[in-house]
Amino acid sequence: MKADGLIFDLDGTLWDASESCVRAWNSALQNKGVIDFVVTQQHAHAFAGKLLDDIFAQYFLFLPKEEYQNMADAYAEQEKFHMREYGGKLYPDVRELLSELSEKYQLFIVSNCLSGYIENFLQQHQLEHLFTDYECSGNTGRPKAENIGMIIDRNQLKNPVYVGDTMGDFDAARKNDISFIYAEYGFGEVEGHDYAASSFAEITVILND
């Protein structure tokens, strides 16, 4: 696989911050007076990679559509606090292998997260120097496929690879006509993938084949 750039999803691919997400969601719900719905870690895994409006429509059936923005604002406030305080855990070998990969490829992140989430991840784990660029739906208001396209265009990539763990990631890669590596150690299930990695270390094996 001859790639000139590696674009990574974040949650379920580089780290697991689901515990902090659970704390943030339940704090937001409590602040909004919701007492009969609790977000679990299983929910947090299912939310990964989805836009907030899609999460509300699928899982928050008690919430009128006109309340989506209020809940989004409440969650955003709590997420900033909990991610700063607790953050997430890198998957095994991520730090070391990202450093190695950065010597051969340009590295990028594209995630359907809120503004500031990627920056917090990079700062917490002191990885800023390894990544060339990143983008998220919180910054652009656009879905993942379009944000991947932005990264490709502004960095003039010819043959990038997207690494992610959900069908949404796979579909976004397909829409950009680029190769996809399925991080099957993550949160989602993906069918029809090009390549599958059972660990982060296996991604480097796939790239070297």
Beta partners for residue 46, in sequence order: none
Measure CA of the first residue to CA of the last residue in the chain; give whole Å.
Answer: 6
For domain 5-16+89-208, which architecture applies? 3-Layer(aba) Sandwich (3.40)
Integer-rounded Cα Rg, in Å, for the chain is 17
Distance from C-alpha of 183 to C-alpha of 185, rounded to nearest angstrom: 5
18-85 CATH fold: DNA polymerase; domain 1 (1.10.150)
Q: Which of 9, 16, 21 is nearest to 85 (CA)?
A: 21
Q: Which pLDDT band, with edges at 50, 70 and 90, does 194 fall under?
A: confident
| Fold agreement between 5-16+89-208 and 18-85 | no
The whole-angstrom separation of Cα 205 and Cα 202 is 5
Q: Which residue has the tokens 């829409």?
A: 175
CA-to-CA distance for 111 and 137, rounded, in angstroms?
Answer: 7
pTM of the shown model: 0.91
The backbone torsions φ and ψ at residue 150, rounded to the nearest 5 degrees and listed phi first, read: -60, -45
Cα 190–Cα 167–Cα 103 angle in degrees, nearest 5: 85
- Could you tell me how far CA 185 lies from the centroid of its own chain? 14
Residue among 136, 152, 160 nearest 11 (CA): 136
Query: Among 46-50, 63-67, 125-129, 181-185, whose mean pLDDT is lowest?
Result: 46-50
Which residue type sits at 14?
A: L
pLDDT at 209 over 90: no
Q: How much is the mean pLDDT over the chain?
A: 94
The strand pairing partners of 80, in sequence order, are none
Model confidence over 89-129: pLDDT tens digits? 999 999 999 999 999 999 999 999 999 999 999 999 999 99
Cα–Cα distance between 103 and 101 in angstroms, integer?
A: 5
Q: Contact 6/155 with Cβ under 8 angstroms?
A: no
Helix axes 52-59, 68-85, angle to 10 degrees: 110
Would you say 136 and 160 are in contact if contact means Cβ atoms under 8 Å apart?
no
Q: State which amino acid sits at residue 196.
A: A
Domain spans of the chain, in order of start = 5-16+89-208, 18-85
- pLDDT 10s digits, 121-151: 999 999 999 999 999 999 999 999 999 999 9
